[in-house]
Structure 1
Amino acid sequence: MALTIRTLAADELAAYQRVLNSAFLADSVEDQLERWRDLFEPDRYHAVFDGDELIGGGGVQTRDITVPGAGPQPLAAVTAVAVKPGHRRRGVLTRVMRAQLHTLHDEGREAVAALWASEAAIYPRFGYGLASEFARLSVPGDAAFRPGVSIDGERVREVSRDEAMPFMKTVYDELRPGRTGWLSRTDAAWDAYFADTEQDRDGLTAYRYAVHPQGYAVYRVKQDWQERGPRNELHVREIAARTDEAYAALYRYLLDLDLVGELKFYTASDDPVLHLLDDVRLALRSRSDALWVRLVDVDRALAGRRYNSDVDAVLEVSDEFCPWNAGRWRLTVKDGTATVQRVDDDPDVVLDVQALGAAYLGGTRLTTLARAQRVSEVTDGALNALSHAFLGDREPHCTEVF
């Protein structure tokens, strides 16, 4: 039977959730549907049907993302992409990705899309580039800070969720405009991110909320009582602070908690805790892919962020999946602000849209992508100048999986 594709209706969330659970090999959780209802934007979900059977699809959350120098900008946060078992290798995902990106282009709402990939080999073929990483951090409890680290002397208190949440939202919203990769959060997004049912805990305790006058930390505990003493694991969900001293104070509080053997945190790849420690080898780190970024409209996206230095270069961009992006674009940056124009001039740098997505948040160097044979320099010196201009002041970090 021929496959068809359309957007969803408001009453089709349960049917779509069953497909999603099936694709991710998870049990159905009908009792948790209300959690997702306020995040569900049915007119932004493209679903594929085989006759009357819903067999796959993908959606968009309407969010903002902080980009280098320009603060929060509209983002198509791609989410809930799935193909039902038994229907793979039929072009379902390609149909969804094409419909989604073409709709974004036609509507002109967001110039940038981003996602977290369940499998890293899937999305590059649709033009997504690896734009950020996170670090799996593990630090032993009681690990000492180097001499001279200031933790400002303010007391950290543990409070209830109800008391913590308004303060957390205030701090997060104050910090977000300056933190590349951070997303806007509606109340529904906050509730989903800090969901705390037994099913969410995966054998850990409920969330605990530690509040400093200038920041907060949220964590769970995995109980581990051994014959030689407790080796409980403290799993950090989020740390946010207005000042460096408060950030250090919150880490110090968590490391000093009694009965903790190890602190674990999926954190930013440039988390400064490494340089707070007296013995840097105590911080074990491994890095993994995080946010994948796709430029929906190259000209609007490149003009939507600021740049680290002036540059004037013609980019020859290839983009088979979204052909309106293909061609030559002159990127001219003056005092951090960019203009982008389609031209017929000879190129200075040749690259594909995936490379542009990878470099967009300032964390992946174009010079690195050139060494990986993803970018080619035509005009001597153009690549170094362009790569430097794209760099951000800090590594991009998306704090949440969406």
Structure 2
Amino acid sequence: MGQLSTRTLRSDEYGAFFDVFAAAFLDDALDTARDAYRGAFDPELTHGVFDGDELIGVAGRLELEITVPGPVPCPVAAVTAVGVKPGHRRRGVLTALMRDQLDAMHDDSTPIAALYSSEAGIYGRFGYGLATLESHLVLPRGAPFLSTVEIDDRPVRELDREQALEVVRARYPAVARTRTGWLSRTDGSWQARVLDGPNARGGLGAPRFAVHPDGYAIYRPKQEWTDRGPEHQLDVAELVAATPQAYAALWRYLLDLDLVGSVRWRKAAVDEPVLDMLVDPRAVDRRVLDGLWLRLVDVDRALMSRRYASSVDVVLEVTDRFCPWNAGRWRLRTDGDGSATVTRTQHAGHLALDVTDLAAAFLGGSTLTGLARSGRVVEHEPGTLLATSRAFATDCAPHCPEPF
């Protein structure tokens, strides 16, 4: 066994990085996406663990913005491609990656980090809390809407890839800035995360683009022929709409396409409006799973980046075993416009909680009152729990519509 060392990678080490990533996920099909992911690879933001000269563990991150409650944009480290080469596990490789990565974010003043977890029990020990949920929806073709649903009667048109990309790249940012949990995008991330990412696998066809004047849907067809005729599947990669009427028009278009048996969306919000638009809500096959896991890299900067629903003055007693600079008592004071100041204090804590619980409540996906019912938040000063939970509340469930 050699001496383990950790460092950022060089640009000429992309091939080795990708090989470790693909091997860690036991996914030979990933190799077809090697070129697409290259545009999102930044060696200065990618850490590797070496056993001598052999690269055995990797963890990358993307420097993006995420919409936080307000809504306001906030810098986020989107952690991606984390993996340890088979045969080298249980040696502290992942812990070393997380340590160097979080130290680098702290040094760069990045307030929060986010990731998707391949196994839900992995990242809590590094301070990540479950911040969003997502719905996997399956709707039957032709599912009728309630008569009260207003559908924009302007047509939805299919465009080829080149024409559509110009449209969707222009329309996405304005909507993303209003939706808690949505991410900014670069040209490279459009390719890797939306167009040629994980949704490209599983026998699905090339992406198709349904464009409306106030939105668009990107979907992939999967052919399914039965003895009774075609029952093709449409897999929605994303659906973006600036108005409820455009949203309804795009859904109506997808549900009414010929030859289709079902429309599926694996990255829908838990409060997706289409669920309340249907005549028969039981027509939807729905599963709710964990979505984004969030990490408050710097508690004070993170809490001051978002807006709050009501005024509160509370002392939070925070534990953080992995990032000790966050541990201690923080006074959170919000004012009438929702902005906040966060300072260290010696005053007694009103609420005691771990940084994972604070992360879970940060986007509004979990409530502090709910976490308290499970014993994860402890109230020391009566009345402060409910007041603080209401301050963190949001009108809509946070949601991230894309993998990374």
Cα RMSD for the two superposed structures: 1.5
Question: How do 1:347-386 and structure 2 match up within 5 A?
Answer: 347-386=349-388
State how 1:159-238 maps to structure 2 within 5 Å.
159-196=159-196, 200-238=200-238
Query: Structure 1 residues 339 and 254, CA, compared in 2 at 3 Å: closer, same or farther?
Result: same
Q: Is the contact between residue 70 and residue 304 of structure 1 (CA under 8 Å) also seen in structure 2?
A: no
> Structure 2: 5+ residue runs without aligned partners?
none
Is residue 55–residue 83 contact of structure 1 (8 Å, CA) maintained in 2?
Answer: yes
Pair 1:322 & 2:323 matched: yes
SS of aligned partner of 2:195: coil
Compute the displacement of 1:207 (Å): 1.3
User: In structure 1, what is the Cα distance between the partners aligned to 2:174 and 2:131?
Assistant: 24
Is 1:6 the counterpart of 2:7? The answer is yes
Deviations 1:117-142 (A, max 9, x none): 01110000000000001100111100
Deviation at 1:30, TM superposition (A): 5.7
Work out the CA distance in 2 between the residues paired with 1:174 and 1:280. Answer: 30
Residue pair 2:33, 2:196 contacting (<8 A) in 1 also: no
- The Cα shift of 1:191 comes to 1.4
2:34 aligns with 33
Structure 1 spans left out of the alignment, 5+ residues: none
Among the aligned pairs, what percent are the same residue? 53
2:316 and 2:243 map into 1 onto residues whose CA distance is: 39
Q: In structure 2, do the counterparts of structure 1 residues 70 and 282 end up closer, same or farther at CA, with 3 Å as the change threshold?
A: closer
Contact 1:18 1:28 in 2 (8 A): no
C-alpha deviation, 1:31, in angstroms: 6.3
Q: Deviations over 1:299-350 (max 9, x none)?
A: 1100110001111100000001000100000000111111001001011100
One-letter amino acid of the structure 1 residue matched with residue 25 of structure 2: F
Read off the aligned partner of 1:345 and give its amino acid letter. H
Secondary structure in structure 2 of the residue aligned to 1:178: coil
Q: 1:314, 1:367 → 2: CA distance? A: 16
Matching of residue 389 in structure 1 with residue 391 in structure 2: yes
Instruction: Find out whether 1:136 has 2:147 as its counterpart.
Output: no
CA distance in 1, matches of 2:72, 2:378: 30
Query: What is the aligned residue count?
Result: 401
Structure 1 match to 2:260 = 260
Aligned-residue offset at 1:174: 1.0
Contact 2:22 2:31 in 1 (8 A): no
Which sits farther off after the overlay, 11-20 or 220-229?
220-229
Q: Is the 8 A contact 1:14 1:30 kept in 2?
A: no
CA distance in 1, matches of 2:274, 2:71: 27
Report how far residue 398 of structure 1 moved. Answer: 0.7
Q: Deviations over 1:361-402 (max 9, x none)?
A: 111111111112111111111111111111112111111111
Please report how far the alpha carbon of residue 57 of structure 1 lies from its aligned counterpart in structure 2 after TM superposition: 2.0
**69-78 or 92-101, larger mean C-alpha shift:** 69-78
Q: Which amino acid aligns with 1:33?
A: R
What residue number does 1:306 align with? 307
